[in-house]
């Protein structure tokens, strides 16, 4: 393992003003997104859509540091025969790959899930590295509800995240460690804070046990935020303040960077929250975005599967990427959204 190189890549992934595009939707998820805009989810349409994003010159070269790909996409070629992974490299961004294989019900823990995909992961990582992937992603999901999460769900998922991270580093690939506490419930921000604290503490404990070099990873956590169904939603300032307090308490300064998931927030909320965090003074690690839906909802709508809308889709993507790039330096203002509209 060359830790200097892993650290260089991890630091580049969270460079100020840039963030990570999560374009690793599973076939099921992308079908839902396409259904919403009336586009059939065929291999060709998925390729055309992602090619449109990767060819958005402005966005990709100025505001996107890396792209998380799905297994199908990393092997696909653009319409003109160029591998999609090459388009990402040509724009100056780093290609990455989602390596988990989704979730299964966790035995003896009703309503809780465990992420799978460790079997044969070492062989898969080798192939992905040869193809050009320099970082990977594994997502654990922790749900908040009546009597959950259990300590079992938290520790089993943290153990798997750390196993995956160690395998990545052995393959000279930077692991994105993503323990996501879902915002689907009716819990308030305090409950989210408390659960996320337990999840992060357990995850870092496991990473140490399994000898993962913290200098060669990126953390992709949720923000401290109230559940979608909670009657009392926290203000932008409260989300920012609580999230930073939480991260400072749980995330060692050795970690080069933190890239948030948007987790169901609206485009503008995700941007505003990140921006507000950068107003709270200097931070021990790089702090940026790794958004999927919050970067893609607008371009998907603008494109709607039509070749003549590619330029409009790229403009919508560039706008969201720029807004989040500014937010990752604390330079975003909501008036910039109005101007674009």
Catalytic residues: 178, 220
Q: Give dist(CA 325, CA 341) in Å, integer.
A: 18
**Distance of alpha carbon 289 from alpha carbon 5, whole angstroms:** 22
Q: How far apart are CA 136 and CA 168, in angstroms?
A: 7
Write out the DSSP string of 125-181: HHHHHHHT--EEEEEEEE--BTTBS-HHHHHHHHHHHHHHHHHHHHTT-EEEEEEEE
Residue corresponding to tokens 């990140």 = 274
Q: What does the alpha-carbon distance between residue 328 and residue 150 come to, in Å, rounded to a whole number?
A: 34
Residue whose structure tokens are 């992934």? 13
Q: Which two tokens stand for residue 16?
A: 């100020």
- Note the residue count of the chain: 341
Which H/E stretch holds residue 7? Answer: helix 3-13
Q: Find the distance separating the first CA and the last CA of the chain, reported in whole Å.
A: 47
**CA distance linking residue 17 with residue 334, whole number of Å:** 17
Buried b (16+ CB within 10 A) or exposed e, 165-200: bbbbbebbbbbbbbbbbbbebebbbebbbebbbbbb
In angstroms and rounded to an integer, the radius of gyration of the C-alpha atoms of the chain is 19
């Amino acid at each position: 393992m060359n830790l200097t190189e892993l650290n260089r890549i991890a630091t580049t992934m969270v460079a100020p003003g840039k963030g990570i595009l999560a374009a690793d939707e599973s076939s099921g998820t992308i079908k839902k997104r396409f259904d919403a805009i009336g586009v059939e989810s065929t291999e060709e349409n998925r390729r055309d859509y992602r090619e449109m994003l990767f060819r958005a010159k402005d966005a990709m070269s100025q505001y996107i540091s890396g792209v998380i790909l799905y297994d199908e996409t990393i092997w696909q070629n653009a319409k003109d025969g160029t591998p999609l992974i090459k388009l990402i490299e040509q724009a100056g961004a780093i290609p990455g790959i989602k390596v988990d294989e989704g979730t299964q019900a966790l035995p003896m823990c009703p309503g809780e899930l465990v992420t799978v995909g460790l079997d044969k992961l070492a062989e898969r990582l080798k192939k992905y590295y040869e193809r050009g992937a320099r970082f990977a992603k594994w997502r654990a999901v922790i749900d908040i509800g009546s009597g959950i999460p259990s300590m079992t769900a938290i520790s089993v998922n943290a153990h798997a995240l750390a196993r995956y991270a160690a395998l990545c580093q052995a393959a000279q690939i930077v692991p994105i460690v993503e323990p996501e506490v879902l915002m689907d419930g009716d819990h308030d921000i305090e409950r989210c804070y408390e659960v996320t604290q337990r999840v992060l503490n357990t995850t870092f404990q496991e990473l140490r046990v399994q000898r993962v070099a913290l200098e060669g990873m990126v953390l992709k956590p949720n923000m401290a935020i109230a559940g979608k169904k909670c009657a009392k939603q926290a203000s932008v300032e409260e989300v920012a303040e609580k999230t930073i307090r939480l991260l400072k308490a749980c995330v060692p300064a050795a970690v080069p960077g933190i890239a948030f998931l948007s987790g169901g927030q609206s485009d503008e909320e995700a941007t505003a929250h990140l921006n507000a965090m950068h107003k709270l003074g200097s931070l021990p690690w790089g702090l940026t975005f790794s958004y999927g839906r919050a970067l893609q909802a607008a371009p998907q709508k603008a494109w709607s599967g039509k070749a003549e809308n590619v330029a409009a889709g790229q403009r919508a993507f560039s706008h969201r990427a720029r807004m989040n790039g500014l937010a990752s330096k604390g330079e975003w203002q909501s008036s910039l959204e109005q101007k674009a509209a």
